[in-house]
């Protein structure tokens, strides 16, 4: 059982790392979206909601 739990822990950590990279990429995209401020603001709000969900 311990082996299964450690595999699950590794998979969870990898998923969190992937999610972190995705958020960083989205934040970089926001910086590029200067010409469409409204869309950038919406994307920023979505990122904040995702971060809040991951923290809880």
Q: 11 Cβ partners below 8 Å, 6+ apart?
A: none
Query: For residues 42, 46, 49 and 51, what is the CA-based torsion angle, rounded to 10 degrees?
Result: -120
- pLDDT tens for 8-17 read 676 677 777 7
Q: Do 47 and 20 form a contact (C-beta atoms < 8 A)?
A: no
What is the tally of structural domains in the chain? Answer: 1
pLDDT higher than 70, residue 30: yes
pTM of the predicted structure, to 2 decimals: 0.57
Range of the domain at 51: 2-55
Looking at residue 11, what is its pLDDT?
A: 67
Q: Residue 1: pLDDT band by 50, 70, 90 thresholds?
A: very low
What's the average model confidence in pLDDT over 27-54?
82
- Tokens representing 33 are 């979206």
């Amino acid at each position: 059982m311990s082996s299964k739990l450690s595999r699950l822990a590794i998979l969870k950590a990898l998923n969190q790392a992937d999610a972190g990279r995705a958020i960083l990429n989205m934040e970089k995209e926001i910086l590029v979206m200067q010409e469409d401020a409204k869309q950038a603001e919406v994307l920023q709000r979505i990122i904040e909601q995702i971060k809040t969900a991951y923290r809880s």
